[in-house]
Chains A and B, each alone.
Chain A
Amino acid sequence: MEWRKQVNMKRELKIFDKPENVKRFLGFFYASLVVLLIVDFFIHKHAVFPWEEAPDFFAVYGFVSCVALIFIAKLLRLFIKRHENYYE
């Protein structure tokens, strides 16, 4: 009963405050990635473009485009970043 009272009083969700829960979440995440890579080989594909049939094309494309996105954005920041009161 003690813990329930505490939860009710503070009304806070604390599952991600514990490092082992975050680790568990990340572990689950990485595992699902591996599953997705493997499942891809057993899927019947009806592609329009030839490269869509390449194994794990979308995984590579998703990863590469997000990394590219971040690095281009960082580069862009050099040119477009201004102080918050720039227009004042």
Chain B
Amino acid sequence: MNNLIPPSAIFIVGALLVPVIKGRLKSAYMLLLPVVAFITLLKMPEGKYWMVHVLDYDLVFGRVDKLSMVFGYIFTIITFIGILFALKVDDDLQHTSALIYAGSAVGVTFSGDFFSLYIFWELMAIASTFLILARRTKASQDAAFRYILVHVFGGLCLLAGIIIYIQNTGTTEFSYIGLGGIGSCFIFIGIALNAAIPPLHPWLQDAYPEATVTGAVFMSALTTKSAVYLMARTFPGTELLIYFGALMTAIPIFYAVLENDIRRVLAYSLINQVGFMMCGIGIGTQLAINGTVSHAFCHILYKALLFMSTGSVLHMTGKIRCTDLGGLHRTMPLTCLFCMIGAASISAFPLFSGFVSKSMIVSAASHEKLVAVWLILQFASAGVFHHAGIKVPFFTFFGHDSGIRTKEPPLNMLLAMGIAAFLCIAIAIVPGPLYHILPYPVDYVPYTGAHVVGQLQLLMFGALAFCLLILSGYYPAEMRAINLDTDWFYRKGGRLFSMVMDRVLNGLNALFERVFATAIPAWLGQLSRTPVSSLVAVYMRATGKDRIAIEEFKRETAPEATSLMPMGMPVFLGLFFVFSLFVVFALV
């Protein structure tokens, strides 16, 4: 077992060779990496591997159990799909950082100790930043800068928590932590930031729409879901997560309805979907955890599919705003179909993947008699269909004819979308294999008459509301505008902070410069050159006399000191004093 290379190392070391290889070989090589990693995963029985002993602590690079395996599988699958989608991109920076990013996410998943976890966690933040930078626009540079700052903050919270945790427990290995004590709170905040729990969420909707077409696919899959994994590992059954999760499903839908940028609509619906998972982790029963893990699995596929299909539109037309798009089903029918499969899956339509996973979380909420939470989750289910299920395909591919005539994206992109779309439907029709790899034994039947009809009613009558509101003109018009979110506090607040700091610190600086660098030295200089007349001037100013007897002191031509104080006299006095001290001590 130990002679195998850890899957994260396959990606990270493999990524470094990407710039060296050229042409078709490079495409084959990049596609091969996730395949090799997947085969390695299949050969890993449960247990702990790749333990490295460093400075009194054990680093565990391979904690393999059912929970980490599910995430390992899906991260590897989505990396394959993402690489296939990005195959034609002629930019080694993107390929390398995407692979390192994927490797670090896999690394986080299998880390059994806090040291290796933290390293992979930070590596993930850095590598993903390059996927935003690689868009090479002013907006993306700014967004990337904010993204890395926010993640550095989150990483530092995690680090602070880790240090306190290690101090208290004496071990770097971790498993269930649970809220209690300051250390666990810091760890919780660090993970919550990556999971985009409000109010720590705005980095997601700020950065993802600015990432490259292909980079956004990786980002939608890895950062938040590795946080979901870690949250499920360390904080299952934390009641706080139920309420934050429920809020997280509801709040972003309002923004998604108003948002103009299609990929930002998807970013909001991503937060909404992770909200379901947080809620499931908070409930913490076996059904809820199974629901969370399976929902993460399905979510990665359909969210990537949605980002790929809308990314294809951006790639082919250069446009991504609702106000600029419309009617693209005429020229991109396949992309449109894939987008609608993704939309149906995220909306949890029967026979699409969200249906077999999300319903487990909702059922878990009802089993625990959480009335308000259940109502919010159902509201959010109807709402997600409304914006991600209808709005995204409708305003992109149908709606008014924007006049844009384009083509389908290249074959590799279509193929990548096809694989994801196939998996979305396959999982829904045959959920058995997915249920089989979940952390706990599954005793859940998604396809009951009541559930299918109830879900269909919820969705179809939500669609009816959309239909009637669009036809009657009550639907909020798409407009070129942005909507304030909690990033306002650091985007405007940061500016205010910098302005205040600028005024206060630079003001102090100028004051000290005036006093200590200009005024005092000048006065001292004056004093040393003309000590007597300077002191006389001070004396005159203090006493108010305008004339004084010794008028000749005012002459500044000749230095006064030499004439008034011969240098030899004080030296002689000094020496005399020292000598007399010596004599006194010698005699006594």
Name A's B-contacting residues (CB within 8 A). Answer: 11-14, 16-17, 26, 29, 32-33, 36-37, 39-40, 43-49, 52, 56-63, 65-67, 69-70, 72-74, 76-77, 79-84, 86-87
Contact of B333 among A13, A46, A57, A58 (CB under 8 A): A13
Closest to B484 in A: A80
A interface footprint on B518-559 (CB within 8 Å = 1, 0 otherwise): 000000000000000000000000000000000000000000
Query: Which residues does chain B contribute within 8 Å of A46, judged by CB atoms?
Result: 448, 450
Contact of A33 among B257, B382, B383, B461 (CB under 8 A): B461
- Closest Cβ of chain B to A52, distance in Å, is 7
Cα-based distance from A49 to B333 in the complex (angstroms): 43
Asked if B96 is at the interface (CB within 8 A of a chain A CB), the reply is no
Contact of A63 among B371, B456, B462 (CB under 8 A): B462
Asked if residues B465 and A58 are in contact (CB atoms below 8 Å), the reply is no
Contact of B398 among A11, A16, A43 (CB under 8 A): A16
Asked if residues A43 and B457 are in contact (CB atoms below 8 Å), the reply is no
Cα-based distance from A36 to B460 in the complex (angstroms): 9
Asked if B441 is at the interface (CB within 8 A of a chain A CB), the reply is no
A interface footprint on B463-489 (CB within 8 Å = 1, 0 otherwise): 111110100001110011111110000
- Closest Cβ of chain B to A26, distance in Å, is 8
Closest to B375 in A: A61
A interface footprint on B313-343 (CB within 8 Å = 1, 0 otherwise): 0000000000000000111010000000000
Query: Which residues does chain B contribute within 8 Å of A13, judged by CB atoms?
Result: 329-331, 333
- Closest Cβ of chain A to B144, distance in Å, is 15
Asked if residues A48 and B369 are in contact (CB atoms below 8 Å), the reply is yes
Cα-based distance from A62 to B484 in the complex (angstroms): 27
Asked if residues A69 and B386 are in contact (CB atoms below 8 Å), the reply is yes
Asked if residues B454 and A58 are in contact (CB atoms below 8 Å), the reply is yes
Asked if residues B483 and A65 are in contact (CB atoms below 8 Å), the reply is no
Contact of A84 among B366, B469, B482 (CB under 8 A): B482
Cα-based distance from A40 to B329 in the complex (angstroms): 34
Cα-based distance from A33 to B492 in the complex (angstroms): 47
Asked if residues B482 and A86 are in contact (CB atoms below 8 Å), the reply is yes
Asked if B379 is at the interface (CB within 8 A of a chain A CB), the reply is yes
Query: Which residues does chain A contribute within 8 Å of B454, judged by CB atoms?
Result: 52, 57-58
With A63-B465, A70-B474, A70-B475 known, 10 other A-B pairs at CB within 8 A are: A12-B330, A14-B330, A40-B453, A62-B461, A66-B465, A73-B258, A82-B482, A82-B483, A83-B481, A86-B482
Given contacts A29-B463, A52-B454, A63-B462, contact A43 B449 (CB under 8 A): yes
* Sampled A-B contacts (12; CB under 8 Å): A12-B405, A16-B329, A36-B453, A36-B460, A39-B453, A52-B454, A59-B458, A73-B258, A80-B485, A81-B258, A82-B481, A87-B492
Asked if residues B371 and A49 are in contact (CB atoms below 8 Å), the reply is yes
- Closest Cβ of chain B to A1, distance in Å, is 22
Asked if residues B455 and A69 are in contact (CB atoms below 8 Å), the reply is no
Asked if B459 is at the interface (CB within 8 A of a chain A CB), the reply is yes
Asked if B253 is at the interface (CB within 8 A of a chain A CB), the reply is yes
Cα-based distance from A49 to B483 in the complex (angstroms): 37
Asked if residues B254 and A43 are in contact (CB atoms below 8 Å), the reply is no
- Closest Cβ of chain B to A67, distance in Å, is 5
Asked if residues A76 and B254 are in contact (CB atoms below 8 Å), the reply is yes
Asked if residues B448 and A73 are in contact (CB atoms below 8 Å), the reply is no
Q: How many A-B residue pairs have CB under 8 A?
A: 139
Asked if residues B481 and A36 are in contact (CB atoms below 8 Å), the reply is no
Among B257, B331, B460, B485, max chain A CB count under 10 A is at: B460
- Closest Cβ of chain B to A83, distance in Å, is 7
Query: Which residues does chain A contribute within 8 Å of B371, judged by CB atoms?
Result: 49
Query: Which residues does chain A contribute within 8 Å of B458, judged by CB atoms?
Result: 58-59, 61-62
Asked if B374 is at the interface (CB within 8 A of a chain A CB), the reply is yes
Contact of B460 among A33, A45, A60 (CB under 8 A): A33
Cα-based distance from A63 to B468 in the complex (angstroms): 10
Closest to B495 in A: A87
Cα-based distance from A66 to B253 in the complex (angstroms): 10
In the A-B complex, the 8 residue pairs with the smallest Cβ-Cβ separation, listed nearest first, are: A66-B465, A62-B458, A58-B457, A62-B461, A59-B457, A63-B461, A66-B462, A80-B484
Asked if residues B258 and A76 are in contact (CB atoms below 8 Å), the reply is yes
Asked if residues B461 and A59 are in contact (CB atoms below 8 Å), the reply is yes
- Closest Cβ of chain A to B374, distance in Å, is 7
Asked if B491 is at the interface (CB within 8 A of a chain A CB), the reply is yes
Asked if B378 is at the interface (CB within 8 A of a chain A CB), the reply is yes
Closest to A14 in B: B330
A interface footprint on B417-458 (CB within 8 Å = 1, 0 otherwise): 000000000000000000000000000000011100111111
Asked if residues B481 and A63 are in contact (CB atoms below 8 Å), the reply is no
- Closest Cβ of chain B to A69, distance in Å, is 5
Query: Which residues does chain B contribute within 8 Å of A73, judged by CB atoms?
Result: 254, 257-258, 476
Query: Which residues does chain A contribute within 8 Å of B333, judged by CB atoms?
Result: 13
Query: Which residues does chain A contribute within 8 Å of B457, judged by CB atoms?
Result: 36-37, 40, 56, 58-59, 62
- Closest Cβ of chain A to B363, distance in Å, is 8
Contact of B481 among A40, A61, A84 (CB under 8 A): A84
Asked if B503 is at the interface (CB within 8 A of a chain A CB), the reply is no
Contact of B453 among A17, A43, A69 (CB under 8 A): A43
Cα-based distance from A46 to B448 in the complex (angstroms): 10
Among B407, B456, B475, B491, max chain A CB count under 10 A is at: B456
Asked if residues A66 and B383 are in contact (CB atoms below 8 Å), the reply is yes
Asked if residues A49 and B258 are in contact (CB atoms below 8 Å), the reply is no
Contact of A62 among B462, B475, B482, B483 (CB under 8 A): B462
Cα-based distance from A29 to B463 in the complex (angstroms): 9
